Amino acid sequence: MHILKLSGLQCRFTVSLAAYTMALCIYCLLWTPHSAYAAEIEGPDSALPAHAPHNHAPDLEDDLDDPEDVYKYTQIEENGEQHTKRVVGDVVTLGGSNVPGLLNIEAGNTTVWHFNNASLWAPYANATPGLPSSIDDGDTGDSGTIYKRQEASNRLVYISVTTCLQPEWNGTTNQTIVPPQLTLYVSNSTSNKEPGPSAPAERQVAITLNEGFANYSMNATTDVYMAVHAPAMPNNFTGIWNYEIAASIDNYYHGAHPASPFLYLVDTDTHAALLVTNNLTEANPDDLVYQQWMNLTSPFTVFVQPTIDKRLDGMRNSYCGMTHASINNASSSVQSGMITRGLGHKPKEQFYIQELNGSTSYFGVLAMEGNSTQIGPGVVGGGGQVWQPVNFKTKADNNCALVFNLTFCHDVAYAVPSNPDRYPDQPSLSAVYDSYAAGLYENFAKSLDQIPCNTTLSAQYSPAKNCDDCADAYKQWLCAVTMPRCEDFSSSLPWLQPRNMGQSPINSSASSIGSMPHSDMLMQVQDQLNQQYVPMTSAPSDSKAFNQTYGSVRAANSSRNPSIIVDKIAPGPYKEVKPCEDLCFSLVRSCPAALGFGCPDPGRGLEVDYGQRSDDGQVTCSYLGAVYYLNAAPAVGGKSSLAVFIAVVLSLWVLA
């Protein structure tokens, strides 16, 4: 099956559907004795596909569309002759370099695979353009360093195995264990032509697959013998394994980088998640490689699966396993595309995954389909690659909605307070916030125009900062503050600030999107309204700060920019990831004093208005470009410098 590459932000539903259909195919094929799979291990008489050429190697690129055809090619070409041949015992010969063999295996059985001398010494594959640059995913494992294309008495062979199917749980209770892994044996002695559990250990290397994946490379001078062995069937499991094995003289056919987090969570809402890859290059916008990356439509893909679903456990490092067992993909749609949003503004691929269930834990796996433009036999790396899964949980309350792709606040990408009844779609919701922020910026820009920015350095308001710095800092701050980062009211994370408790929860059961999971929210809120609220322990002891309730202070009972959030959007109670205090400090530092910016002091509003960054990877305060578990150490100005800038407090949104 040829998985189609879809363009840019197009819906990737079909990819998922393809994977789903493929899974179905596998099941059908498995249990039908006269299937393509069964044919693979039949005797010498089994026929080639009618249209397969008999006197020269099959033209793999033209025949990739039919999965059955693909796998019928797996063992043609034996000693230069094209016919399917079963060698002595249970030896199956691989169809060549970069031509995988796909086979079922029963518990306890071993299949020996032969990569013959002719395949080893065949011409190397033609060089392909590859990705614009190699990605720095931090993987220090065997990445397939290429020593080739030099005359040598030996050749490096890249061997990889992935599990495509594994036995299923048929116990009476919920599954708690995963099926055991297959083992790859590679003979390293010419006297061992039948590697496996019963062959001498000093004449072979044994590698147990890790979550359905193993790789191994070795220098070879002649025929290579490998074997795949299935363990005994544990109690309460039933079925068989199915795996793909490949040997290549060019590079690994399959890849897995389980120790490399390369996909990050940006944020979720009740029905969707926004994930992003790390920077694909550190090049600058003027560099060719930067432009080449941005020119790609969608070099990667993601698989998303509810954590509770155990089907993929044991195959999380297997691209093949993902395509066959990832069921959730079929019902969720994924939009993907290249972006430069985020820290450093480097090229990344973004994935917007919709149609998820609320309040549910998922994991997402970044993957590459084949070599990113083509999959399957004949393609170097045609078996695909996967990276470390990223875990995330969708929100519950249905009043936070992901927004991104904004015109003015184009670096904003997170969930904001929302109300699906009033603003049912992302564009209408983001427009409310975005035009509000743009309007405020216009006023600011007029004020900035009055400041002598473009004079000589000595006449500037600061030797280190100019008006562009001020404008940048203002925009960063403005967008973060006018578009609060929203979390469920029910979340108990300590850094969150309850907001808008004075408003009734949205009645989203009437909304088209679905009912709010927490119908007892109103009660929760009402209980809390009369409780004592002490957000600032460093407040002056004689102040009212120790004598107020959630219901009595604007910081908790109302919202930032109430004219937009409370009146227009009316999201009901929510919690806010407060903007980072360094955004405010930076604004004060970057702008001329004449503009009168100042930040609230600790004990006098700072704590309820602004949050602090953490270095444990949590997004404990909101800044543009934040992603989970990638926080760079913050460049926060010390609090001492704050005293210098006491001017007009940024009072528009000060709530305490």
Ligand X SMILES: *[C@@H]1O[C@H](CO)[C@@H](O)[C@H](O)[C@H]1NC(C)=O
Nearest-angstrom CA–CA distance, 143 and 567: 56
Cα distance between residue 653 and residue 555, in whole Å? 9
CA quadruple 264, 244, 212, 335: dihedral, nearest 10: 20
List the beta strands (DSSP E) in 194-272: 204-208, 213-220, 224-229, 237-238, 241-248, 255-257, 263-268
Instruction: Please tell me whether residue 119 binds ligand X under the rule CB under 6 A.
Output: no
143 binds ligand X (CB under 6 A): yes
Distances from the Cα of 627 to the Cαs of 205, 251, 614, 635, in angstroms? 41, 33, 12, 16
Given the rule CB under 6 A, which of 128-136, 544-552, 599-607, 613-621 is the region that contacts ligand X?
A: 128-136
Q: In what order do the strands lie in the sheet with 224-229?
A: 91-93, 110-115, 224-229, 183-187, 204-208
The only residue of 23, 165, 224, 256 in contact with ligand X, by rule CB under 6 A:
256
Of 438 and 654, CB closest to ligand X: 438
Distance, CA of 627 to CA of 344 (rounded, Å):
13
Which residue in 171, 285, 439, 540 binds ligand X (CB under 6 A)? 171
Do residues 115 and 397 touch, judged by C-beta distance below 8 A? Answer: no
Instruction: Report the residue from 93, 372, 500, 508 that binds ligand X according to the rule CB under 6 A.
Output: 372
Beta-bridge partner residues of 164: none
Among 141, 200, 285, 439, binds ligand X (CB under 6 A): 141
Candidate residues 236, 297, 507, 558; the one interacting with ligand X per rule CB under 6 A: 236
Which of 79, 134, 208, 295 is the binder for ligand X (CB under 6 A)?
Answer: 295
Q: Is 89 in the site for ligand X (CB under 6 A)?
A: no
| Residues 6+ positions from 50 with CB-CB distance below 8 Å | none
Q: Which of 44, 200, 285, 344 binds ligand X (CB under 6 A)?
A: 344
* Closer Cβ to ligand X, 109 or 549, answer by number: 109
Under the phi-then-psi rule, with left for phi > 0, alpha for psi from -120 to 50, and beta for the rest, what region is 239?
left
The residue number whose beta carbon is nearest to ligand X equals 141
Closest C-alpha among 173, 368, 356, 366 to residue 253: 368
CA dihedral 9, 13, 14, 15 (to 10 degrees): 80
Q: Which is nearer to ligand X, 264 or 423 (CB)?
A: 264
Which of 54, 147, 639, 641 forms a contact with ligand X (CB under 6 A)?
147
First to last CA, the chain: 61
Among 24, 146, 288, 493, binds ligand X (CB under 6 A): 288
Enumerate residues 4-33 that contact ligand X by CB under 6 A.
9
Q: What pairing do the DSSP bridges indicate for beta strands 91-93 and 110-115? A: parallel
Q: Does 379 bind ligand X (CB under 6 A)?
A: yes
Q: Min. distance of Cβ 48 from ligand X in angstroms?
A: 22
The answer to whether residue 447 forms part of the interface with ligand X (CB under 6 A) is no
Phi and psi of 523, rounded to 5°? -65, -45
Question: Shortest Cβ distance from residue 5 to ligand X (Å)?
Answer: 11
**Using CB under 6 A, which of the segments 22-30, 167-175, 353-361, 533-541 binds ligand X?**
167-175
d(CA 144, CA 84): 30
Contact between 333 and 16 under an 8 Å Cβ cutoff? The reply is yes
Interface stretch with ligand X, choices 138-146, 266-274, 501-509, 634-642 (CB under 6 A): 138-146
Query: By CB under 6 A, is residue 121 in contact with ligand X?
Result: yes
Residue 255 binds to ligand X (criterion: CB under 6 A):
yes
Binding site for ligand X (CB under 6 A): 9, 106, 109, 117, 121, 128-130, 139, 141-144, 147, 152, 156, 171-174, 188-189, 202, 205, 210, 215, 217-219, 222, 235-236, 252, 255-258, 264, 278-279, 288, 291-292, 295, 308, 335, 342-344, 346, 352, 371-374, 379, 405, 453-454, 467, 627, 630, 632
